[in-house]
Structure 1
Amino acid sequence: MKLCVMVQLCALLTLTQEAPGREKCACELSSREKLFPHEKLRIVKANASDCNSNITPQKTVELESLLLGLERRLAQLHKDVQVLEKEDDGELYGVLSLYVIENEMTEKLLKCNKDLNTTVAPTEPPQGTCPRSRLLNVTGPRVYTAGEYPGSYSYGAWGRDPRPEQGKESWYWLVMMTSNNRYAHYVRLYSSLSALIIGVSVPGNIQIHSSNPATNTIQGPNNVLYGGALYYNCYNQDAVCRFNLTTKAVTTLQLPKGTRYNSKGNFCHLEECYPYTDLDLATDDSGVWVIYTTNQDYGNLVLSKVEEGEPPKLGQTWRTSVYKQAVTNTFMACGVLYATRYINRGMEEIFYSFNTVTGTERFNIGIFINKMSPNIQALNYSPVDQMLHAYCDSNMVSYKMLFG
């Protein structure tokens, strides 16, 4: 037994010693993939470095705003295309062709009138204080943004200064009711529309008072900025306050005895009233206006011009026959007062106008505004760019106004 084991071990030792040494081998690797583009990577790195040094924060803000605007606009364009597709009549003329036919027919009719020596009706005179002031339509929205505080502060107002200080022509202002949807104590400024959309405020807040509410702070959302000063309903007063953003001085304009205030003469519709909207401040090409109501006028709208001065004074006053609580908002354009009413959650109607030049009223304007949210807490017209700025349930929306 032991001898057998010894023989196996000796055989194993012999085989191990006689085995040849392990030879070295080399393999040639052939890859079908392209070589790593080191040179392209170097160029990309160089370009990225140049971009970081050349693109300023201001350009970044503008690009981000542009992209946001395009995103909003594409959705609207998609809806418009869908409408046009539904109006496609196959072998008949399309919408654009109908416009061409309309123009051609108009030209033939004019020629016929001329040939027959007929008297053409005179052109409708301007409605107000501007050369072209007959409001034809409101289109848009052109801007729709939640701004810097999305979902916060349901009541407020925003817009542009129709008579801005030098160097502030592109600035926008924002006033939010930061206390109980009723009161505010500062104005927030933005150097451009792009800055407002993405929420970059420069120079930031300009305070009227350190606490809120307090004497001379803002009551209600219907405010305007004109000539570097904010006009608003003074806290707990039937008066207009003017806050100079440069000097921080506040002056007041007392309204007539019997003026309704402290949420006793609000804008309303069937479902609700908008609290503390007794006084509505408005601007147009001619200056500042205040829209309100009094006990003597039985709740009908009253319009007064605010004359500049130290302190400001109440100018000419007009009385209307439209009941204020049947109105949801008002604004001024070219010396004409316009009033809106609630149609449904998606539509508002400009139904009424009062011409301060002719003294005429109209109740059949029939211009509709597509709403982005159910309620419009404030409307401000900007004669700088003919835009109507709306504050809607904490969102900022603007529409283009078309005049004839």
Structure 2
Amino acid sequence: MMLYMIVPLCVLFTFTQQAPSREVKCVCELTNSEKAFPHGKLSTAEDNASKCNSKITPQKTREFESLLLGLELRLPQLLEDVSMLEKEDDGELYGALSLQVIENEMMDIKQLIDKLNSTTQGHQHLTTDTSKQLEDLRAVMRELERFDTMQVVKSVHANRRLKTDLDQCKNGHPTIQPTGPPQGNCPHGHFLNITGPRVHTAGEYPGSYMYGAWGRDPKPEASKENWYWLVLMTSSNKYSNFVRLYSSLSSLIVGVSVPGNVQIHSSNPTTNTIQGPNVVLYGEALYYNCYNQDAVCRFNLTTKTVTTLQLPKGTRFNSKGNFCHLDECYPYTDLDLATDESGVWVIYTTTQNFGNLVLSKVEEGEQLTLGQTWHTQVYKQGVTNTFMACGVLYATRYINKNVEEIFYSFDTVTGVEKFNIAIFIHKMSPNIHSLNYSPVDHMLHAYCDSYMVSYKVVFG
């Protein structure tokens, strides 16, 4: 009896162990109420923006400005030639030749006007097309911003504005109060334009020295009010060890230096001699970039002594922070010294300011000190030269081999930066290697590929 009961229990136990277990599956259905992000629209918007950038280039604006400048220069010349013909026409050979010259000038002006009209029409079409594309892009971007439910883009814009405000607050804080007359308050009025060139000469060494600087001392000794100075880069277009003096402008032009050279050192280069062409003379002392240093040297022409001023840590020197344009950089132009009505300034760059221009006042005294400092938003390697006038920093850029543009200003009193000055310099040579403003006669002295050129500054 017991045997018959044990067998069925064993069979039941085995059957139970081998029976497959039933799997339980749970399925959830997710319904997204938001629309899918339109990646295709974003890609199309990026392509259209890239096309706009390729169509609208600075070269188009510069071409237009160059044509306008050419027309502006030709018309007064034509008027002058017609006036001369009216006064001196003898009815014979002179009149015929003058009429031929005037006819040629009018043909040139007509070609300029035709090209200007063609360029203007092209720009108008381009402006219309671009405006329509920008409106379309704006509408697409507004539509895409609706997908930013986490407000990421809005937060990025807010952070960017906050960072800009903080940078301006930090950079605008003065370090040392300046001495001397207040800057930026010009008794002559606003800087309106330049005319000229008034002077164009190869001087005493025609074609010999490509880099250099020249000008007048804004604070001369008595009896030296009409003197001019000249510094030539006589070693490798980079270094010099003397300043050459001329008793008048005519002496400079014909190349007669009665005072001769005032030598800093017999060797060139060596410690505390001149490095780079951006030098100035002020108060019978030459200010320049010391050889192989991130420092300003002051050479006293009377005592023949040198005083140095160390610039802030991080200042770029030894041709690491030059003036440049698209085709080339001007070597060893890291430091630019400038003079105006209030004294001496130094323009340079630092790693902390990411290569943007830094402006400092050089305070006079037995020992040189660095006065108030300003940090700008203009990148130095996009600039070809700088100069000061009435406490305002001006910067130039290369347009073409015939035209340079004063495009930027920074007012040291108000802190206002402008990138739309649009004052054009008609060049006599492709490269301006140094540019100095003289408050004595309101002239802008340029050293251009071994030529000395000056322009009259117009205030009003």
- Same topology, TM > 0.5: yes
1:235 to 281, 288, 291: 291
Deviations 1:132-166 (A, max 9, x none): 23111011000000000000110000000000011
1:148 to 201, 204, 214: 204
1:130 CA drift (Å): 1.9
Summarize the Cα distance change of 1:211–1:320 in structure 2 as closer, same or farther, 3 Å threshold: same
Partner of 2:234: 178
Alignment of 1:192 onto 2:245 = no
Secondary structure of residue in 2 paired with 1:181: coil
Matches within 5 A, 1:36-51: none
1:87 CA drift (Å): 7.8
Query: 2-side partners of 1:202 and 1:378: how far apart?
Result: 25
2:451 to 388, 395, 400: 395
Alignment of 1:169 onto 2:168 = no
1:127 CA drift (Å): 8.9
Partner of 1:108: none
Secondary structure of residue in 1 paired with 2:250: helix
Amino acid at match of 1:291: I
2:359 to 284, 303, 317: 303
- Unaligned runs of 5+ residues in structure 2 are 1-73, 84-101, 108-181
1:280 CA drift (Å): 0.1
Amino acid at match of 2:194: V
Does structure 1 conserve the Cα–Cα contact (< 8 Å) formed by 2:280 and 2:337?
Answer: yes
Partner of 2:30: none
Summarize the Cα distance change of 1:80–1:389 in structure 2 as closer, same or farther, 3 Å threshold: farther
2:390 to 329, 334, 339: 334
Alignment of 1:272 onto 2:271 = no
- Unaligned runs of 5+ residues in structure 1 are 1-74, 89-125
Amino acid at match of 1:193: L
1:209 to 265, 275, 294: 265
Partner of 2:80: 81
Secondary structure of residue in 1 paired with 2:319: coil
1:79 CA drift (Å): 6.6
TM-score for the superposition, normalised by structure 1: 0.70
Does structure 2 conserve the Cα–Cα contact (< 8 Å) formed by 1:133 and 1:334?
Answer: no
Does structure 2 conserve the Cα–Cα contact (< 8 Å) formed by 1:127 and 1:134?
Answer: no
Summarize the Cα distance change of 1:80–1:326 in structure 2 as closer, same or farther, 3 Å threshold: farther
1:128 CA drift (Å): 1.8
1:81 CA drift (Å): 3.2
Does structure 2 conserve the Cα–Cα contact (< 8 Å) formed by 1:127 and 1:133?
Answer: no
Summarize the Cα distance change of 1:197–1:316 in structure 2 as closer, same or farther, 3 Å threshold: same
Summarize the Cα distance change of 1:216–1:325 in structure 2 as closer, same or farther, 3 Å threshold: same
1:128 to 173, 178, 184: 184
Partner of 1:260: 316
Deviations 1:171-226 (A, max 9, x none): 00000000000000000000000000000002100000001000100000000000
Amino acid at match of 1:301: L
Partner of 2:47: none
Summarize the Cα distance change of 1:182–1:82 in structure 2 as closer, same or farther, 3 Å threshold: same
Query: 1-side partners of 2:185 and 2:268: how far apart?
Result: 38
Amino acid at match of 1:81: E
Query: 1-side partners of 2:275 and 2:81: how far apart?
Result: 44
Query: 1-side partners of 2:305 and 2:75: how far apart?
Result: 44
Query: 2-side partners of 1:325 and 1:283: how far apart?
Result: 22
Query: 2-side partners of 1:345 and 1:334: how far apart?
Result: 29
Query: 2-side partners of 1:184 and 1:399: how far apart?
Result: 26
Does structure 2 conserve the Cα–Cα contact (< 8 Å) formed by 1:223 and 1:231?
Answer: yes
Deviations 1:3-40 (A, max 9, x none): xxxxxxxxxxxxxxxxxxxxxxxxxxxxxxxxxxxxxx
Partner of 1:102: none
TM-score for the superposition, normalised by structure 2: 0.62
Does structure 2 conserve the Cα–Cα contact (< 8 Å) formed by 1:267 and 1:324?
Answer: yes
Matches within 5 A, 1:338-377: 338-377=394-433
Does structure 1 conserve the Cα–Cα contact (< 8 Å) formed by 2:183 and 2:342?
Answer: no
Summarize the Cα distance change of 1:283–1:127 in structure 2 as closer, same or farther, 3 Å threshold: closer
Summarize the Cα distance change of 1:79–1:293 in structure 2 as closer, same or farther, 3 Å threshold: farther
Query: 1-side partners of 2:81 and 2:397: how far apart?
Result: 28
Query: 1-side partners of 2:216 and 2:445: how far apart?
Result: 9
Query: 2-side partners of 1:155 and 1:215: how far apart?
Result: 20
Partner of 2:279: 223
Deviations 1:351-375 (A, max 9, x none): 0000001000000000000000000
Summarize the Cα distance change of 1:82–1:368 in structure 2 as closer, same or farther, 3 Å threshold: farther
Summarize the Cα distance change of 1:202–1:296 in structure 2 as closer, same or farther, 3 Å threshold: same
1:245 to 292, 296, 301: 301
1:76 CA drift (Å): 12
Secondary structure of residue in 1 paired with 2:208: coil
Question: Identity over the aligned pairs, expressed in percent?
Answer: 78
Secondary structure of residue in 1 paired with 2:399: strand
Summarize the Cα distance change of 1:164–1:299 in structure 2 as closer, same or farther, 3 Å threshold: same
1:281 to 326, 337, 349: 337
Secondary structure of residue in 2 paired with 1:197: helix
1:311 CA drift (Å): 1.3
Query: 1-side partners of 2:79 and 2:341: how far apart?
Result: 33
Bigger strand share: 1
1:284 CA drift (Å): 0.2
Partner of 1:29: none
1:292 CA drift (Å): 0.2
Amino acid at match of 1:218: I
Does structure 2 conserve the Cα–Cα contact (< 8 Å) formed by 1:141 and 1:400?
Answer: yes
Runs of 4+ in 1 over 2 A off after TM superposition: 75-88
1:332 CA drift (Å): 0.1
Does structure 2 conserve the Cα–Cα contact (< 8 Å) formed by 1:280 and 1:291?
Answer: yes
